[in-house]
Amino acid sequence: MTGSASDVAVDSEVVIQEAPGNRLQELEQEGEIAADYLEALLDIVDMDGDLDLDVEGQRAVVAVVGTGLDGLVGHRGETLEALQELTRLAVLQKTGARSRLMLDVGGHRARRRAELTTLATEVSERVLDGGQPESLTTMTPFERKVVHDTVAAIDGVHSESEGEEPSRYVVVLPD
Amino acid sequence: MLEAALEHLVRGIVDHPEDVRVDLRTGRRGRTLEVRVHPDDLGKVIGRGGRTARALRTVMAGVGGKGVRVDVVDVDRV
């Protein structure tokens, strides 16, 4: 009896110690599969870009860095979203597990995040002053999340998404 | 170049990459990239509600294939 009890203790200890490390390894592997997929594409279409791999929170982050990459970003990042979707599928194909990896190209997401944070702050101030809800233009899921996160940090207003993809948009409302 | 790019994008997301074939054809309606895959992979290439096929079209337009159609050919039907 004592023997089996200590076996259990050892097992759970191992699980607790190894789980985060395994998860990190999985996310790093996701990034590497994604990088292979993207590098081969860049090579074929003759675009120059370096790949930066990172893990932020619970997701792999893959960034294609360089100039002349606008074609891969597209109008308001729609090509970037499409490429992210295909890259996630390529990871799923290799690992058998769904990926939430985030792709950035040419610093687009960082730029958009800054613009949208400013916009969401301005809109929130107008809603606080006027007491009337305000709808924003159609946005991608990434863009909406930036707006929701910004509005959530401001007292007296909240936000909701309305409409169906790909025409979903955010509404900022007074509390 | 367009054929090779599309072939690569599709090969990475299917169970039978060796069965992926892409042809570029020119017809009255302009240029078309025709994608053929293993019948079992059709669903993967089209995706739920045509989502994956749409993503393939969007990316192809971004890498120099603007105005080029992308057709997933249903081999069973042809």
Report whether pLDDT(A52) > 80: yes
pTM over 0.95, yes/no: no
Q: How many CA atoms lie within 13 A of A106 on its CB side?
A: 15
pLDDT value for B29: 81
Residue whose tokens read 């490429």: A83
Query: What single string gives the DSSP state of each residue in A27-91?
Result: HHHHHHHHHHHHHHHHHHTT---EEEEEEETTEEEEEEESSS-HHHH-GGGHHHHHHHHHHHHHH
Report whether pLDDT(A15) > 60: no
| Contact (CB<8Å) A79/B58 | yes
| Contact (CB<8Å) B62/A72 | yes
| Contact (CB<8Å) A89/B12 | yes
Q: Which residue of B has its CA nearest to A70?
A: B62
pLDDT value for A21: 77
Q: Which residue of B has its CA nearest to A41?
A: B5
Contacts of A73 in chain B (CB under 8 A): 62
Give the CA angle between residues B10, B12, B18 to the nearest 5°. 75
Which of A2-11, A12-21, A22-31, A157-166 is predicted with the least confidence, judged by mean pLDDT? A2-11
pLDDT value for A8: 46
Please give the torsion angle defined by the CA atoms of residues A144, A146, A149 and A151, in that order, rounded to the nearest 10 degrees.
Answer: -70
pLDDT value for A51: 96
- The pLDDT tens digits of the residues spanning A73-128 come to 998 899 999 999 999 999 999 999 999 999 999 999 989 999 999 999 999 999 99
Report whether pLDDT(A14) > 50: no
pLDDT value for B75: 64
pLDDT, mean of residues A142-147:
94
Contacts of B37 in chain A (CB under 8 A): none
DSSP-assigned beta bridge partners for residue B31: B26
| Percentage of chain B lying above the pLDDT 90 cut | 82
Residue whose tokens read 């390529």: A90
- Rounded to two decimals, the ipTM of the complex is 0.93
Q: What are phi and psi of A7, to 5 degrees?
A: -60, -45
